[in-house]
Amino acid sequence: MAFAEATFEGFVTRKIWVYDDQLRFRLAVPSRNDGPAAKGPRETHFCTIVMPRSMSKSLPVRLEPGMLVRVVTQSISREYIETLERFLKYAEGDLPELAKSNAKAVTLRRIRTEFIARTLVIRERSVDEQAAGEVSATDDRDRESQSLA
């Protein structure tokens, strides 16, 4: 199911991979909590960006962790079924005994939201953005895609 167009600006994380002949990467997008009421560190949202092969082959440079990019996307959602065993395989931490014994028998209905890149611009970074990018590029948590409100 296709949704609206969205523009994101953020840092490419260490998570870059190819699936179904398309380049995919996780983008760390700092929230915009500017203003007088904003206190504490900025929250970061993560989303999965999918680049069609023709687009990734036409980039002037290779996409690398820590790069600051602006990407215009079309969001899509897809539903799939996953076994508990597969889900837990990618989860961090110790697995509960109950989960180990029934992991193949239990299936989960999942929905994944991804963002198909329409345009991508690699941006120059200021000193502050470079520091933020170094933090974001090292964070390769693989949480489900999140869109910004």
Query: How far is the C-alpha of 126 from the C-alpha of 136, rounded, in Å?
Result: 15
Q: What is the pLDDT of residue 54?
A: 87
Q: Please give the CATH topology (third level) of the domain spanning 2-78+112-137.
A: OB fold (Dihydrolipoamide Acetyltransferase, E2P) (2.40.50)
Residue boundaries of the structural domains of the chain: 2-78+112-137
Q: Which segments in the chain show pLDDT lower than 70?
A: 1-3, 33-41, 92-101, 125-149
How far apart, in Å, are the Cα atoms of 27 and each of 36, 59, 70, 85, 102? 27, 17, 10, 27, 34
Q: What is the pLDDT of residue 100?
A: 59
Query: How far is the C-alpha of 42 from the C-alpha of 137, rounded, in Å?
Result: 15
Q: What is the pLDDT of residue 141?
A: 42
Q: What is the pLDDT of residue 93?
A: 56
Q: What is the pLDDT of residue 10?
A: 94
Q: What is the pLDDT of residue 135?
A: 46
DSSP string, the chain: -EEEEEEEEEEEEEEEEEETTEEEEEEEEE----STT--SSPPEEEEEEEE-HHHHHT-SS---TT-EEEEEEEEEEEEEEEEHHHHHHTS-SPPPHHHHHHTTT-EEEEEEEEEEEEEEEEEP--HHHHHHHHHHHT----PPP----
Query: How far is the C-alpha of 105 from the C-alpha of 20, rounded, in Å?
Result: 27
